[in-house]
Amino acid sequence: MRSNRAKTRAGVSMAATLPMIAGALALGIPAAHADGPARNTLTGTRPLWATAKADKGAAADSARVDAHVYLAGRDAAGLAAYAKAVSDPASPLYGKHLSAKEAQARFGATKAQVSAVKSWLKSAGLTVTGVTAHYVSVSGDVAAAEKAFGTQLHNYAKGARTYRAPAKTASAPASLKGAVLTVTGLDNAPHKAKHDSQLPPPEAVFKNAGPFSSYFGSNVASSLPDAYGHKIPYAVKGYTGKQLRAAYGAGKYTGKHVRVAITDAYASPTIAFDAGSYAKKHGDAAWKTGQLHQVLPKKYTHTGADECGAAGWYGEETLDVEAVHAVAPNADVTYVGAASCLDDDLLDSLSKVVDNHLADIVSNSWGDIEANQTPDLAAAYDQVFQFGAVEGIGFYFSSGDNGDEVANTATDTKPGVKQVDTPANSAWVTAVGGTSLAVGKGEKYQWETGWGTEKATLSADGKSWAGFPGAFTSGAGGGTSRTVPQPYYQQGIVPKKLATANNKAGNRVVPDIAAIADPNTGFLVGQTQTFADGTLRYSEYRIGGTSLAAPVIAAVQALAQEARGGKAIGFANPSIYQRYGKAGVFHDVTDNPTGSGLAVARTDFVNGTDASGGLAVSVRSLGKDSSLHAVKGYDDVTGVGSPANGYVQSYKGH
């Protein structure tokens, strides 16, 4: 990915305000500090890789700079404090959400602040290209940017490439009185998000090869070798809404009168047809007129395969829309497509949801490793999430598909680094981890493991699994953040060993909650794809990833909001952790729930389409997530667990 803050207020006494501010600081709000008498530093604007050793000299004065200057607003500390209070069930302000207009009037930037920021930027020689409620965008040459932000811009080696970055932390005039939150774009290293699902490219058709199980364990691979001392079933063809609703305790609730938004990059040109076809084929409620909306930018950028790969995002949108509708068939769904996979564009899509209050629940199936996130972007993201919390909007982010990220970040010359994904690492969002799900005959929930897969192939003689259990292929993201302090709602619940893994004072641990993600026990999705003869036709395949878990949890939250009488849950983490340990609310997911080792058999088309290229037979072990483990209680694969039958009901009357 790219990819990311008190005063006395009406109705809140000063005595009540101070502890809320302290709580906000515990959520990781950065404080501005003076850099000399005339300027205020914009913390985090010089990336860590911009070192003296990597310095390749000054950037050309004439080189172009495009930047976003994010506005701090009139009361950044008050915004964070109110966002905390309104989301905390223990607070007297719990649930007292503001409208988007009220939130902007109370915490947004004033006209005078915007005018002062614009004047400063123009006086330095930059051209203002846009103004929103959150930022002023500018363009100009390096010389003008250096004058505006009080730092030289140099070229630095980063890996095998060279990028521009500030030689010291950027700053803004003290006369602006803290009106600037941060600036992005001075560093021109790519900050790109990736969709977090095991997706085939929609340009060419992808199909799963059988045999399949229709429900978990229905078709045993009796002719294949044993695994863990017993015969194993073939992977399911793909669960549908009826099975997922039963697994996660939907009951009579359907998400009626609840609005869910989905953000991704770009937009599938066949989404309405595909979603309608899928619902009809699998017994989901038909989409009503006006139930599915799209909010799209005027134009798309960075669409090429070597940049964002726009077509690869079509399947992401399709999965998210169909999964939400399958679990919450009467929820109103708004898809908000970003102009690209770059952070500023994704921030724009999130801001559209907040500024127009397009939904109360927002599913986001994209992210990047924490090491690629910079503090300036973290601040910009968190401000949007805080505005959302104030308005009663909750953001749900997939935790990633590469486990502890060690294998994913390793190179030929350097070992990988254990880390979490972002924006799921933010203390202001709900990070959604992943499970392997077994739904049996009659839609009966059997068990879940933490999603983590090891793969071994069938030996040449067909009598054993070569190198069983094989190498790690994928698994739910999780672990301990290196940058985000431990939020108050995790204290006393997250084991100290996890919280203090990177910092004695304790840091944020991911995820918060979990749902189905393993593509070996995945969801059946329907999408228009390109067949070998060049025709476009609707086709279905099984899919997984925490890209599936995020919209499933968003849909479950829609059911919970309906059970709550339609009253917005908002930022859900405080209420999720408040429910931890209560009987029947969560499935406590562990890696080996049956005690005998779990695996499924898969037969795949080598070419992804048909048997003409041959078949590949493998065994996929479940519950093997890199160095992460799903254990009894809170863990770094599934958080507090997955929703059980009592989860949705627990919101009734609360």
**For 491-533, what is each residue's pLDDT tens digit?**
999 999 999 999 999 999 999 999 999 999 999 999 999 888 8
Using CA atoms, how far apart are residues 348 and 135, in angstroms rounded to an integer?
10
Residue 20 has pLDDT above 70, yes or no: no
Using CA atoms, how far apart are residues 199 and 401, in angstroms rounded to an integer?
11
Q: Over pLDDT 90: what percentage of the chain?
A: 86
* pLDDT at residue 251, as a whole number: 96
Bridge pairing between strands 39-41 and 171-173: antiparallel
Model confidence pLDDT, tens digit, residues 537-548: 999 999 999 999
Residue 102 has pLDDT above 60, yes or no: yes
Q: Residue for token digits 């400063």?
A: 120
- Side chain identity at residue 17, one-letter code: T
E-state strands within 167-234: 171-173, 180-184, 194-195
* pLDDT at residue 75, as a whole number: 95
* pLDDT at residue 121, as a whole number: 98
Q: Residue for token digits 């990819």?
A: 3
**Weakest-pLDDT range from 38-52, 255-269, 395-409:** 38-52
Give the domain ranges of the chain.
195-649
Q: Rounded mean pLDDT of the chain?
A: 92
* pLDDT at residue 545, as a whole number: 96
Q: Over pLDDT 70: what percentage of the chain?
A: 93
Question: What is the residue-wise DSSP string for 267-308?
Answer: --TTHHHHHHHHHHHTTPPPPPTTSEEEE--S-----STTTT
Q: Is 118 helix (H, G, I), strand (E, B) or coil?
A: helix
- CA-wise closest residue to 571 among 397, 351, 330, 344: 397
Model confidence pLDDT, tens digit, residues 284-332: 999 999 999 999 999 999 988 888 888 889 999 999 999 999 999 999 9
Helix (H) or strand (E) holding 649: helix 645-649
CATH number of the 195-649 domain: 3.40.50.200
Residue 639 is given by DSSP the state B
Mean pLDDT value of segment 257-267: 97
Residue 59 has pLDDT above 70, yes or no: yes
Using CA atoms, how far apart are residues 487 and 16, in angstroms rounded to an integer?
19
User: Which two structure tokens, joined as six digits, stand for 418?
Assistant: 């254990």
What's the angle, vertex CA 346, arms to CA 341 and CA 348, rounded to 5?
140
- CA-wise closest residue to 555 among 509, 516, 527: 516
Q: Is 372 within 8 Å of 191 (Cβ atoms)?
A: yes
Model confidence pLDDT, tens digit, residues 568-606: 999 999 999 999 999 999 999 999 999 999 999 999 999
Model confidence pLDDT, tens digit, residues 374-400: 899 999 999 999 999 999 999 999 999
Residue 227 is given by DSSP the state B
Residue 606 is given by DSSP the state T
pLDDT tier at 151, thresholds 50, 70, 90? very high
Whole-Å CA distances, 524 to 21, 238, 548: 45, 4, 11
**Weakest-pLDDT range from 5-19, 99-113, 254-268:** 5-19
Q: Is 236 left (phi over 0), alpha (psi -120 to 50) or beta?
A: beta
* pLDDT at residue 195, as a whole number: 67
